[in-house]
Amino acid sequence: MNSANKPVRLLNAAVIVASLGYFVDIYDLLLFGIIRIKSLQSLNLTGEEIDRVGMWLINIQMVGMLIGGIIWGILGDKRGRLSVLFGSILLYSVANVANGMIGGDNAIMWYMIWRFVAGLGLAGELGAGITLVSEVLPKEKRGLGTMIVASVGISGAVAAYFVSEYFGDNWRICYYIGGGLGLALLILRISVVESGMYNNLKASSSVSRGNYFAFFTNKERFFRYLKCIMIGIPTWYVVGILMTFSNAFAEKMGVQGKIDPGKAIMICYAALTFGDLASGYISQLMKSRKKVLYIFYTLVLISVIWYFNAYGYTVSGFYTICGIMGFSVGFWAIFVTVAAEQFGTNLRATAATTVPNYARGMLPVISLVFGGLQSAGLTYLQSGLATGILCIVLAFAFAFTMEETFGKDLDYVEEA
């Protein structure tokens, strides 16, 4: 990279394309959850069938993301960051369009196939984008670059909600819009250049690139990898448990009105966008990743305790807590940046791509803990609070033992 000789603009082509790609990525990821019921109803499913098939679709998409995370991560280190960035955008855009076209006697089968393909595509964009941005920007600017990528991307969830509200039962159009936006992004491919760090590494044939098993053959490297995954679990506890089941929690606390989980998720993600901006900016001011994580974990703890004391709140009051909680988990930019900064150039894309997908994949484990505590005798509310405290404590502990990576020189490789 020649940033020492030629200044690199913060809003360069790599940052813009990675940001817009993640926007469409999150749009699709959240859109499916928002329009799942109306799409299945239009395919002649009713009652328990909608819940059963909907769960299958969610699970098969998650399987696609877990598999895709590994595949795209390895390709990112073997073939380059750009190939993964645009390859993943192309794949999930085509899957989006195909989702809007399903119908006929085998509609459910094709819905599952294309949600799996969408999961494969959705798994690659963020890791490749963050890796590319981290490597093309000078170290004093890369935190701001990844902040922009995450903040713009997360706002895709808000767009998905309002698009679905505007088009109502016309759920196919919502998919077409997502696919069209992704395909339009491919036009910008000609203006994005590959990371100089990666090109230099590629010229050295002696260095092993994208060896996924390298994370498990070295004890120190394995725990570095595990820590990167675990520091993100409070986000998925909040989104996957507290927001997804916000109607059930609100009912048990006697909230004065009906809570819509879709709206709670939208409010949470809207506030999360501002949280990402704040965490990225504060990280630059404090010149630290870890200190910002401590601050936001503390905010999560405070907001979780507040959430479970919302007895008798109005609907607007409860949604306000959802927004504050969304802001508190707005450390996604820092989380993914840390994953990229923890590893050498020959494993960086693999780490940055697999880590966020494994963090998402922790949600079933968190759900098992939540359900297990209820089976052990705790109430629904007690189980939810205890699960949250456990997630936050674990994240604190893993973050505390991590290396501080702010300003770290990333031009190095991991030894075999």
For the chain, which domains are there?
7-192 (1.20.1250.20), 210-410+412-416 (1.20.1250.20)
Residues 6+ apart with CB under 8 A from 29: 122, 157
For 243, counting Cβ atoms within 10 Å of its Cβ (0-12 exposed, 13-18 middle, 19+ buried), the class is: buried
Q: Which two tokens stand for residue 402?
A: 């991590």
The span from the CA of 407 to the CA of 141, in Å, is: 9
Beta bridge partner(s), residue 256:
314
Cβ atoms 122, 30 nearer than 8 A: no
Residue type for position 139: K
Cβ atoms 134, 341 nearer than 8 A: yes
Whole-model pTM? 0.85
- Residue of 286, 290, 292 lying closest to 400 (CA atoms): 290
Please list the pLDDT of the chain residue by residue as tens digits (416 residues).
Answer: 444 445 668 878 888 888 998 999 889 888 887 888 888 889 988 878 887 888 788 888 888 988 999 999 999 998 888 889 889 999 999 999 999 999 888 999 999 999 999 999 999 988 888 898 888 888 888 888 988 998 898 889 889 989 998 998 899 999 999 999 999 988 877 677 777 787 777 777 677 888 899 999 999 999 999 999 999 999 989 998 999 889 889 999 999 999 988 889 889 988 998 999 999 999 999 999 999 999 999 999 999 999 999 999 999 999 999 999 999 999 988 898 899 899 998 999 999 999 988 988 888 889 889 999 999 999 999 999 999 999 999 999 999 999 999 989 888 888 86
Q: Which two tokens stand for residue 343?
A: 């590893």
Q: Which two tokens stand for residue 80?
A: 């380059």
